[in-house]
Structure 1
Amino acid sequence: MKADLYICDDTFKYNGFDSVADVKRKLSDFLIMLDEIRKYNEENSLYLVKENFGKTVVFGDKKTINDIVSDYESSTLTYGKDVLTLFMGIFKHCKNSQVSLNDMKEYLAMEDDKNCSAILVLNPLNGYQEHIQVLSSVGGWLRFRRYFLAKYPGDEEFFLSESEKYFPNLRIHEYTKDTLGDVLASHHKKIVAYLSVLNDCLIMEFNASGSRDFVSFLKKFAGDHQLEGASFEGTKDNKFNFIFPDGTEAYCEPHLKMFTDDSGNRNQHCRIHFKKPSGNEVVVYVGCICGHM
């Protein structure tokens, strides 16, 4: 899906109370988000009203972005190289635009299965603090992309290709291409929600729990995240063995359970089988997304 992304210069204006460190932290988050977005240049177009942006005062010293960029040595000492890198990168990688903030807001409602829009902000945009299409960090970027993946899942190949981008802490086995079709049309919103929990929370929370009992941990994990279920199959079977491209041999008996589909119909089963995290693993290996193995 193609995304048109509009950087809102109004939200870069100094808010009157942030310290230099506060602004630099926000700029750092914004830079990390832009770096993630630019990994997929063909699917994302960045727009900026460059004239307005250059005239914007970001810090409390009343210097404009143009002032900061034009005095490289002094600005590097004062603000750090990353700040200069961000500002110069925004000018370089964004297409010039004359779109107003009101136009940007209107564009948010214009979408289909091939196109969507978002506003990129440094400080909160009044009235849009919780809007899924207003982004300031990688976390916001992933929520935005996952939202539209859940809304427009496409076919199995498209869904898995997009999942590879927007669930960076998951490795989904290619076998899933053969089983996903049984549940994608009926469970695509729930699958995205459950994969989000696996990606964002499983390893961190399991490590923090200090638990050696993964069965008990899974029950608590499901309850904490309002999942319909999570457990082991209960019987050892070779069908749960998967070998991933990186050479990892993963036994994927543990699984998240769905008993209802996206419409709330009962007895509509879907399962996501994955490997129990171990050692220093930083990704979750997902063996299968299916109705039942």
Structure 2
Amino acid sequence: MKQKFDGNIVRNKLGTMNANSNDNPQTQFLMHIVRYRFHNKHGIRYYILIFCIISYALLGGIIFHAAEHHDEIHYLETNVDKLNMLIRRLTCRIFNATNITLTERKQNNVDELIKIYYQQMLETEEKYKQSILYKYNQMKNGAFTWTFGSAVFYAITLFTTIGYGTIACRTTIGKILTVIYSIIGIPLMLAILQDVGNTLLRYLTTIYELIPNIAKKMRLRHSKISDIEKDNIEYKDVEFPMKLFIPITAIYLIICTIIVLLFDQNHSMPSQMTFGDAFYFSFVFICYMYISFFVLSFFQNII
């Protein structure tokens, strides 16, 4: 005896199966991951955008390092020579005013003494690390302002519009490249922030919806409700509550603070950053504020 299959019945059953899969939050979550990782073009776009912004930051590091590094060396050497000349003239005036015969040995000793007092005065005003003398001494030890790492840092502050102010281009070509680089980089960063923000919100909402549904299913397993009644239970879609954004942001900020503090303390240069300073530093970066009271010791030599 042949069985007759009604096409409408088959289509209804398939529709019911799809509806059941759509009502199942676990299935939705897994399908969402597969779709956006492998099949959905928007998922691929996220990876492409992140790759582009990382590549753009590295490209900016190469460009600005090439534009500013050699000029930095020339600038420091020229200004230190001018400073030494001023100190020698001051020494000659001191000896002429006291009518004491000036010898080469006395000249060198007094020059060195003036440099020491000059450094102490700068340290008293907390301006020594911004001085030519300090940067020149750092350069002789191999610590340049414009390294590849600091150039990448500068590039990131441009397209993120943070403008932290620890480093800036001195050359004309560097300033022109800064304008061009920012015009291209800022829209790219805004596009990434929009896509990444939407993705994070979607995943947080899915997880927030998944947790109560799993808890409801666990309760149903231990209850005496029939399977038919369980299937008829609806799982409503929910929106991610705004009240959870504050604790999530606070946790993220604390994690960033710990990372910044550990990074700064593990660097070879002495660190004076406290937990509060690291928290402030992280908050400034997250909020895109144009304030720069505290700087990582890693970048102290580039202020």
Give TM class, smaller chain.
under 0.3
More helix by share: 2
- Higher RCO, Cα 8 Å, sep 6+: 2
More strand by share: 1
TM-score by length of structure 1 reads 0.24
Q: Pick the structure with greater CA Rg.
A: 2
TM-score by length of structure 2 reads 0.23
